[in-house]
Structure 1
Amino acid sequence: MNLYSICKPIVAGLFKILFRYKVYGKENVPTEGGVILCSNHKSNFDPPLIGSVCPRELSFMAKAELFKIPLFSQLISNLNAFPVKRGHADRQVLKMTMKLLEEGKTIIIFPEGTRNKTNQLKKGLSGVGFFSLRTDAQVVPCAIIGSYKLFKPTKVIFGKPIDFSELRMRKAKPAEATEIIMTHIQALIDQYK
């Protein structure tokens, strides 16, 4: 049993008490094969919350600065995090993400790139579109609704996978794929708010 499996039920139980979360659409997360989970980003609590309620074990990108903190760096590495340098094209991140998806893993990506406390999404970065078009991974939109106020309900919604076969076939640009993903995330926010 790895650290992720040990922590998952503990974090889920703690967050259930603190944030009274409700989960919708778990059945929409494919049970096998590479999956890109794309979510809005409201708080630093997003990765552990989604990780604790998602039926699949997640890998995620974390800002490189976090890997400079002794002990914390080791902890998040053992919880499937890998570093990303924000603001540059990072070849190591490209390779690592492609490798994980080819191995059939699930990666969570926050296309906005930074936290946004509103219910109106910012423009998504094209990196998520690139991975969606360059791999066979299924792309699942996810939305978090709520403000993580103690004992106030927070919702986590997993949408149906987005079909990218037509965009892959016509070699669409990553920005177009990202825009479609953001539209799906916004639709979940609008539907469940």
Structure 2
Amino acid sequence: MKLYAFGQFICRTFFRLFFRPKVIGKENIPSDKGVLLCSNHIHYLDPPFVGAFLKRQTRFMAKAELFTLPILKTLLPKLGAFPIKRGASDRQAMRTGLKLLRDNDMIGVFPEGTRSKDGVLKPGLAGVGFFALRSEADVIPAAIIGSYKPFSTLKVIYGKPVDMQSLREEKKSPEEVTVVIMGAIQSLLDEHRH
């Protein structure tokens, strides 16, 4: 945790030096229960930006290829990240994610599965809906708005929790739940774009 807190400090300093960060809605993130934090994905700096200004540690699910790179394979696990294989049903990642959520950790995911080159929100992957349905975690939509151009405004907005209770009562599928989560992210993008 100390390494993570130090990393957060470095990231906050970096973002404040090179951008004009605006953080909105931190109060929507509960402090004492499992959280599935679901954000759009526009840049490789999204994970540190999403997590840098929060009090809680965000454990990111990251593509497995990153865990084979020299420095990252040692650093990422120490920062609480865990791998997921893209394009396949990765049962180990699913088990790890569910255990973390049941242990009241906060997991950060990018439901699109890859960066959006044009900034338009892409459809989400059903795995996000699976996590949302199979855990008791609060599902918090998040939106990153900006271009990561030096000294430009960069916003991250944390929305109110998605109403999972009604989705469970209606026996929605993981795919349907993912559509609802993506809709919540899109609403944040539409509301805060200007």
Q: TM-score range with shorter-chain normalisation?
A: over 0.9
Amino acid at match of 1:125: L
Match for residue 4 of structure 1?
4
Q: Does 1:124 align with 2:124?
A: yes
Task: Give the 3-state SS of the residue equivalent to 2:14 in structure 1.
Answer: helix
Match for residue 159 of structure 2?
159
Match for residue 33 of structure 1?
33
Match for residue 81 of structure 1?
81
Measure, in 1, the Cα distance between the counterparts of 2:10 and 2:139: 27
Q: TM-score, normalised to structure 1's length?
A: 0.97
Q: Does the aligned pair in 2 maintain the 1:117–1:147 contact within 8 Å?
A: no
Match for residue 64 of structure 2?
64
Q: Does the aligned pair in 2 maintain the 1:41–1:117 contact within 8 Å?
A: no
Match for residue 111 of structure 1?
111
Measure, in 1, the Cα distance between the counterparts of 2:143 and 2:150: 19
Q: Does 1:147 align with 2:134?
A: no
Q: CA deviation at 1:14?
A: 1.0
Measure, in 1, the Cα distance between the counterparts of 2:84 and 2:129: 17
Task: Give the 3-state SS of the residue equivalent to 1:156 in structure 2.
Answer: strand
Measure, in 1, the Cα distance between the counterparts of 2:177 and 2:165: 11
- Deviating more after overlay: 61-70 vs 172-181: 61-70
Amino acid at match of 1:52: A
Task: Give the 3-state SS of the residue equivalent to 1:161 in structure 2.
Answer: coil
Measure, in 1, the Cα distance between the counterparts of 2:54 and 2:161: 14
Measure, in 1, the Cα distance between the counterparts of 2:62 and 2:99: 17
RMSD of the TM alignment (CA)? 1.1
Q: Does the aligned pair in 2 maintain the 1:84–1:90 contact within 8 Å?
A: yes
Q: CA deviation at 1:31?
A: 1.1
Measure, in 2, the Cα distance between the counterparts of 1:120 and 1:6: 33
Q: CA deviation at 1:138?
A: 0.3
Q: Does 1:47 align with 2:47?
A: yes
Task: Give the 3-state SS of the residue equivalent to 2:191 in structure 1.
Answer: helix
Q: CA deviation at 1:13?
A: 1.2
Q: CA deviation at 1:66?
A: 1.1
Q: Does the aligned pair in 2 maintain the 1:120–1:186 contact within 8 Å?
A: no
Measure, in 2, the Cα distance between the counterparts of 1:119 and 1:183: 15
Task: Give the 3-state SS of the residue equivalent to 1:92 in structure 2.
Answer: helix
Q: Does the aligned pair in 2 maintain the 1:26–1:55 contact within 8 Å?
A: no
Measure, in 2, the Cα distance between the counterparts of 1:79 and 1:117: 27
- Deviating more after overlay: 164-173 vs 108-117: 164-173
Measure, in 2, the Cα distance between the counterparts of 1:178 and 1:132: 9
Amino acid at match of 1:92: Q
Measure, in 1, the Cα distance between the counterparts of 2:166 and 2:28: 20
After superposition, the C-alpha distances for 1:26-75 in whole angstroms (9 at most, x for unaligned) are 10111111000000000110001111012321101111111111232111
Q: Does 1:94 align with 2:94?
A: yes
Q: Does 1:186 align with 2:194?
A: no
Dislocated runs of 4+, deviation >6 Å: none
Q: TM-score, normalised to structure 2's length?
A: 0.96
Measure, in 2, the Cα distance between the counterparts of 1:72 and 1:45: 14
Measure, in 2, the Cα distance between the counterparts of 1:62 and 1:100: 15
Measure, in 1, the Cα distance between the counterparts of 2:182 and 2:55: 22
